[in-house]
Structure 1
Amino acid sequence: MIAAAVLTGYCAVVGWVAPPALSRARWTHRSPRAALALWRALMLTFVVSLAMAVYHATRSGQHLHGLLGAIDIWLGREDTPPAERGAEGPGLLLPIGVTAAWPLGWFGAALLRSRRHRRRHLSLLDLAARPEPGLRAVILEHETPAAYCLPGRHPRVVLTTGTLDALTPEQLHAVLEHERAHLRGRHHLSLALAEGFARAFPGVPLARAARAHTADLLEMVADDHALRSCTPKELAAAICGVAAGGVPQTALAAGGPTVLLRLKRLLRPRIGLHPVARGAVLLLALTAPLLPYFVTCGPTPG
């Protein structure tokens, strides 16, 4: 039970203490990819530590190497009669499996829900929009400037005629590169992951913060990709040009609620995160999911 208490405390730190600290960190906007990796690592280590806490609470007195041994037994790597193998392995694996399946189920539900919304919107676009092969986009007749993309099996970049009228060719190129970055990076999966985690653990500050910051950081990642082929001023002007346009619920747009934050970031001198600091963040993101095991269990005794 001591291990269960330690893991519960670790869950509390990750779920309640870490999110405000990371939310206030100033470096995250300088390296949005590293910040995204750290938010994902916090979500993963929260689930891992929660699953292990449930395991220790339900299998009182058994060290986690008992679970690892059960996996070997279940796979037939230990000298255990088949009758015992079938009962012991699933019995030990069940607490962790159920705990892990809870957020995974919500992640799948978020993916299915967004897919239904996209398919409904795509069917409307097929009727109302016209393809523009030169831009690799579809054009929707509407005077309000707006630009967004719909990811999935048949991705689309959608522009309104108001966007074509309002933006210069350079600004239009910046908007298109921003939207294509969303599609190439499959950013809808990251959004669904954060949404599923938030629905699985609605009372946990980490869930709310991860969902909000994931959306902001993904927009910054797409901005950084667009800046490879345009200037910050061109991209900032393009974002302002399409900021007022409404977009579907499941779309990823160049405008949106983070416009002011992104404009400040684009118009300030660009100072990237130091490589050593970025490496330390990525190392922490890689090791965080393993910390619950090493803190409470460690390797199997010889």
Structure 2
Amino acid sequence: MQNRPAFPEIHQRLLTAAMPLIYNGNMRTGLTGPEEPLRAMSKKSILEVCAFHIDSCLIAERAGAARVELCDNPIEGGTTPSYGTLKRARERISIPLYPILRPRSGNYFYSDEEFAILKADIEMCRQLGCDGISVGVQTRHSEIDTERLKRIVEWAGPMGVTCNRVFDCAPDPFKALEDVILCGCERILTSGQKSAAPEAGALLGRLVQQAGSRITVMPGAGVKSSNIAKLRKESGAREFHSSARVVAPNPVTYVNPAVSDYGSVYIADEAEVRAMVEALRQEDAGGTETSADPA
């Protein structure tokens, strides 16, 4: 009698054969609309808060956010936070912490020296107990630098890696999505190649559909309590990113009018974070909930 492969082996063969049908850039499953997103539709909606201040980390956790992306320099779009800031944040919050690793503002086309800085910062994050990092690298032609991004993912293990808004610089977002998946990232932060994600609901929806269960597409930039429910409907996304930032009151009693280059302190608006978390909860529950009429 001919030997037959064990059941686990048969299962693996079937799974391997099916993968190209399930996971290619054209979504050959043919699922659209309410049948879309394999993983998106069954997943609880969550909010990641982009924090530019240690107090914003505390506010994010207290208000129900699921994760913090910790950054410095909000006016520059976010750069790597200091060792001390990261250490204190890790000590003070229990929700996942993903610092942005960006050695400077501007483009994401890094020199060898800057790339070496990224490697050192990845090791710092691991030693401090961060859950992941948010990072991006591009080629001279603004495509995803897959060679370098693969190395970053390898260096980061076992931390997760979010590909940040370098994705929005790419000339072809659908190719960029496949490139990021190939590199092993778990998530893409994107505004849908617009200045604000709510302006790109249709494109974000196409990206979510193409991604399927292979990677999470997380809309961010311009996301507020007033538009997050609509964006969720339009995109099919289940993770969202917002700083909810406001300018903190200045506690000092004297400000020299001749010196104005100190900038402002930005902090997360706790009420706004709570409102976004609640809006997502209501959408997960099937839409806007209303209180019952009093008896």
TM-score of the superposed pair, with normalisation by structure 2? 0.25
Relative to the length of structure 1, the TM-score reads 0.24
Report the structure, 1 or 2, having the larger helix content. 1
Higher relative contact order (CA 8 A, sep 6+): 1
